[in-house]
Each structure stands twice: as C-alpha cells, then as structure tokens.
Structure 1
Amino acid sequence: MLVIRPITEADYPALMRCAEESGHGFTSLPVNEKLIRGKIHHSVESFAKEVSSPGTEGYLMVAEDLETGEVVGTTGIEATVGLDVPFYSYHISKVVHASRKLGVHNIVELLTFGNNYTGCSEVCTLFLRPEWREGANGRLLSKCRFLMMGEYPQRFSKTVFAEMRGVSDEEGHSPFWEWLKDHFFSIEFTHADYLVGVGHKGFIADLMPKLPIYVSLLSSEAQEVIGQVHEKTRPALRLLEKEGFTNRGYVAIFDAGPTVECDVVNIKSVYQAFHCSVEVSEHTSSHEYLISNTEFRNFRAVAGTVDVNTDRTLARISPEMADALRVVDGDTIRLIAQ
C-alpha cells in the first residue's frame, strides 16, 4: 500500500532521485541540491503555518511504500504563483486581417506574453517512478491534492491550474524553443529550463519578445507542437481533464505545452467527495475509493476498498488502512470513488 504524506527533511535523497529520473522539461524539480533542500524546507514550514487565505505557501508530498518504507513518487501544490517571482505564460488569441475591397479575409493566431495566472493555485511536481505506475497509484498521487483542497479551501485560490510538459526529445530539444532560441535567446532549452527551475527568471523578461508573435511566422516544427503535451505527461493530462480541467488557450513559454485550469468548486474530486465516520474492522468490499484523513499537518491519503453504508455516514476500513491514515474508531475521513 502507498500512503501520501507531507515531505520531511529526511526525504531529500528520495526527492533528488525523483528529480534525476524525471528528465528534461520537468521545471518544478531541477537537479540542484540547494533548490531541492529549499523546496523541502519551504514545504515543512508551509504545512506548519496557520493560514486563513492563500499566500506563497508550497505543499510538497511524497508517496511512501508502507511495506518497504521506500519513497516512490512526489506531488505538490503551490498555494499561489506570481506573488514573489513572476509567472509567465503565452495566451493564444486570434485577429482578423481583412480587406473588403480586395476580397481578402485572413484569421491569424497570436501568442501574447503575460502574467494572467498570477494569484492562482498550481498543482505541480507530479512524478511517479516507472515501476510504480500501475493500479490506482497514479490516480492517488494526482487526486490526493483535490482531497486536500476540498478539506481546506481557505488555503487555496479560486482557480487552480497545471502547466503540462510540452514536446521535447530525449536530449531535451524542444521544437518551439529552437525557434525562440534562434531569434531571441541563444541558449539551449535544457539550460533555460534549468534556470527557471532554480528561480533565475530575470532573463525571461530581459529577452522574451514583448509584442505578440504571429504563429504563422514560426517554423512549421514549432507551430505543430503548440498546445501539445509530452508523451510521458499524457496520462497526467487525461486525469486532469476527467476532473474538469480544460485549456483556455494558454501555453508554456518555453516548450508551448498546454496549461489547463478549473475552479476548485468544479473539480470532480472536490464536489463529489464526502465524509464518513470511521469503524476499524475487517470487512469484505469491492468498492474502491481514494481516502484521506481530515488532518492538515499530518495529512495522509491512500487507495483501497472501503465498506460504506447506504446513507454514506459510516465507513468500515481495515486496520492496515487505519494505521496508514492514522485514524481510529469515530474519526472522520474524506472519500472519493475511484
């Protein structure tokens, strides 16, 4: 059984391993000891903080195998973006170039540079090691964040978004970045991606074209990948789309990967979740749920079978699950059907 829990300082080696295995384009987890340790420390402080409205908190969690104690994945939430460090994106829009006299009517697309997600919450840093990508593990790692948001909405913004990894090859070459590099940046995608990951974003404002870019002027290779997701990120995108997330025309500034968003109240795993009182007992049930306790600092989430009564007030869970969630008889848990 996997349990999702807040990260601790002792999880540094495991998080660094996730960073090394995640590959190019995984901006939120660069291979940098100082930054990784800083993210862990910031998360520990954020979980301990009393919060009545979202600020610069960042919540990082890990997936731990209860049998071996091995950490096999990570997932995170930024309470807001853009308040301390600018958050940039491109918005795809359309303009019409027309002349009635000449009988010409052309609709062209523009990429407009901006900061429209400032103040929104971001779900990010989702990574599960390949040998664990089976069963409900991926769904648990993704949806546990929505169980947390539903239980503690005051800690998060009205709108939640996710920036999906765009198209790049195994060497980290991005067709979209290649065009930007040739005209504006003159540095490799992997270098630019790393600089953003370690927080050195000043070069973006310095070098990024300020005026809208006509998509038709880009190379054909760059045009083809706008709004397309990296093959390794497709399962994560499908999960978010099933939750109600959709693309509103925003893409990442480096690889043009899609950004998807949803208001918290419209996220399926938020509005369909329900509470039950716990009864710890051996039981027989074929109903699969994702389950969390209702703690914050000691948040725990698991996946498994639960026997829920007909009026959804009582949930019978196994002693093993109770131990993983750190609950006892009479405690309250939050559930969402898988």
Structure 2
Amino acid sequence: MIIVRPITQSDLNDLHRIAVESGHGFTSLPVNEQLLNQRITHAEKSFNKAVTQPGDEGYLFVMEDTETGKVVGTSGIEAAVGLDDAFYHYHLGKVVHSSRELNIYNTVETLSLCNDYTGASEICTLFLSDTHRKNNNGRFLSRFRFLFIAEHAERFSETIIAEMRGISDEHGRSPFWDWLEKYFFSMDFPTADYLTGIGKKVFIAELMPKYPIYVNLLSKEAQAVINQVHPKTLPAIRLLEAEGFSRRGYVDIFDGGPTVEANVNSIRAINQSQRCQVIIGDVQSTDNYIICNTQVANFRATQAPLSYRETAQQVVISQAVADALLVKEGDWVRLLAN
C-alpha cells in the first residue's frame, strides 16, 4: 500500500537520495545532509506544535511504499513564508512611454523585485521517484495537502501559493539567470540556487538590482523563458490550474519560473472534500478516493476504494485501510474523489 505520513529522522537517508534525484532548480531540497536534517527536525516540531494561526511551521511529508518500506516521494507545506527570511519574487508589470506630439506609444514589460507574498502559505517540495510515477501517485502526492489544509485551516493562510520550477538544462544552466549573472551576480545558477536552498539569502538583497528591469533589455534567451515551467513540471502546474490556481505575474528571481496562487476557499479539492465517520467492513465500490485521518502528528493518507454514504456522512473502508490510516470504527476521516 502507498501511504503519506509526516517525515521523521529515520527518513534522512531517503530524503538525501530524493534531493540528489531531484536535480538542479529544486531549491527546497539542497543536497546537504546537515540542512536536510535541520529541515526534518523543524518539520517534527511543526507537526507537534499547538497552533492557532500560521507561523514559521514547515510540514514535510513522505510517500512510503509499505510493501518495501521505501520512501518514494516527498511533499510539503510552509505555513507562512517570509516571516523569518525575506521571500523574493519578480513581478511582471508594464511601463508606457508615449509622446502625443510624435504619435509614439510604446508599452514595455518590467520586472520589479518584491516581497508581496510574505505571510502566504506555500505548497512545495513535491517530488516523486520515477519508479512510482503511476497509479495516480503524483496526483495523490499533490492533492492530499489540500485535505490537510482543509482539516487544519487555522494553521494556514487564506492565500496559498506554489513556485513552479523554471527552465534550466541538465547542467543547471538557466537562460534567465545567465543574464543576471553576467551583469549583477558573478555566480552560476547552481551556486545561487544552492545558497538560497540552505537559507543564505542575504546576497539577493545585496546584489539584486533595486530598480525595475526592462524585459526587452534581457537577452532573447532570457526573455523566452520568463513565466515558463520546466518540462518535468508541466503535469504539476496543470494539476494546480485545475484546482483553481492561476498566474498573477509573479516569477522566480533565479529561473523566471511562474508562481501560481489561489484563495484557500476557492481551491477545488478543499471545497469538494468531505468529512465522514468511519465504518469498517466490506467495500463494494471500486472508485478510488484520497482519504486521510484528522490528526496532525500522526497524520496518514492513502488512496483506496471505499463505499460513501453521503446522506449519513459515513464511509465504509476495509480493515487494511483503517490500519494504514491509524483509525478505528467511529473515527472521522476526510476524503476526496481522485
């Protein structure tokens, strides 16, 4: 069975392996055991913390194949970004240069450095190993987070964002960063990406141009990748757009990839999820659902067929699914058709 659960210290080696597999541009998982260990520690504290409003909590989950005991993916939620470290984006805007006398009217796109998403909740760190990219596992690994948010709304902001990986090649070269590197930073994209991943962001404020950048002054290669996603990220952004996320003109300061956002109350998975009471028995249906318990520190989620009794707010699940979710008859779960 495939389950999702909170990460623990025993998952460090698996998380390091996933960080290596994820490659360049996956800022939230630096290939650094000490920092990964710190992130796990922070996640454990977050899951065990009593919370009444979002703060610096970071919830990191892993997907486990219980037949092999192997961790095959990871997925996370940051409760409120930018409270401790500045959270930077470029915002795409426009400047108009016109002269009525000369009958000239030119509109120029600009990139302005901003911290507009400070305090927003972020879904992040989504990665699934190639071996398990089947059976809707990727969809499950993304969507279960909305059930966790719906069940524990006090822990999250009204605005939910996701930064999508921008264009870079197999060597970590980003056309967008190449231009910034040439004129402002004098360090390559993998180095800048790594420094950000380990929390060393001061250089951004120190070296980033303070005034809006005219997009038409960038190289053609850099212009072409602004607001574009990495080919491997296309399924992820399509899924989020189907949930109600949209682009609002914010892009990553390193690779130019888009950030998408949604109000928590307009996210489809949250609105369509149902809270039901558990009955353990024989399941007649073959329809697959994402189903999770209502806990935090002992959170569990899985995909399974179930019998849904809508009028009674009850759901029939097998004993094996109940065991995987750490629930017993009479407990409550949250479910979503997958």
> What's the TM-score, normalizing by structure 1?
0.99
1:72-87 map, 5 Å:
72-87=72-87
Q: Does 1:54 align with 2:25?
A: no
1:122-175 deviations in whole A, cap 9, x for unaligned? Answer: 100000001101112111110111000000110001101001000000000000
Cα drift, residue 205 of structure 1:
0.5
State the shift of 1:310 in Å: 4.3
Unaligned runs of 5+ in 2: none
Indicate the percent of aligned positions where both proteins have the same amino acid.
56
Aligned partners of 1:75, 1:310: CA distance in 2, in Å? 30
Q: CA deviation at 1:312?
A: 5.5
Aligned to 2:192: 192
Partner Cα separation in structure 1 for residue 215 and residue 311 of structure 2 = 54
- Tell me what 2:134 maps to: 134
Return closer, same or farther for 1:84/1:26 CA change in 2, 3 Å cut-off. Answer: same
- Root mean square deviation, CA, Å: 0.8
How many angstroms does 1:74 deviate by?
A: 0.4
- 1:71 is matched with 71
Pair 1:175 & 2:175 matched: yes
Over residues 187-207 of structure 1, what are the superposed CA-to-partner deviations in whole Å (9 max), with x where a residue is unaligned?
Answer: 100000000000110110110
Match of 1:297 in 2: 297
Q: Could you tell me how far apart the structure 1 residues matched to 2:313 and 2:81 are?
A: 37
Contact 2:30 2:198 in 1 (8 A): yes
In the TM superposition, 1:117-266 aligns within 5 A as 117-266=117-266
Report if aligned partners of 2:283, 2:305 keep a CA contact under 8 Å in 1: no
Q: How does 1:93-132 map to 2 (within 5 A)?
A: 93-132=93-132
Judge conservation of contact 2:290–2:304 (CA < 8 Å) in 1: yes
Aligned AA (2:73): G
Query: Could you list the per-position Cα deviations for residues 240-286 of structure 1 after superposition, in whole angstroms to 9, with x for gaps in the alignment?
Result: 11111101000000000000000111111111111111111122212
Q: Which amino acid aligns with 1:270?
A: I
AA aligned to 1:89 is H
How many residues of Structure 1 are paired with residues of Structure 2 in the alignment? 338
CA distance in 2, matches of 1:247, 1:83: 23
CA contact (8 A) 2:95 2:107 kept: yes
Q: Mean alpha-carbon deviation: is it higher for 51-60 or for 281-290?
A: 281-290
Question: Quick check: 135-144 or 193-202, which moved more?
Answer: 135-144
Q: Which residue of 2 aligns with 1:317?
A: 317
Checking the alignment, whether the CA contact within 8 Å between 2:76 and 2:125 is kept in structure 1 is: yes
Residue deviations 1:99-136 (CA, integer Å, cap 9, x gap): 11111111110000010010111100000001101112
SS in 2 for 1:311: helix
Could you tell me which amino acid in structure 1 is paired with residue 162 of structure 2?
Answer: A
* Structure 2 Cα separation of the partners of residues 76 and 119 of structure 1: 16
Distance in structure 2 (CA, Å) of the matches to 1:72 and 1:199: 25
2-side partners of 1:298 and 1:264: how far apart?
A: 24
How big is the shift at 1:309?
1.9
Deviation at 1:97, TM superposition (A): 0.9
Unaligned runs of 5+ in 1: none
C-alpha separation in 2, matches of 1:10 and 1:80: 26
Corresponding residue for residue 326 of structure 1: 326
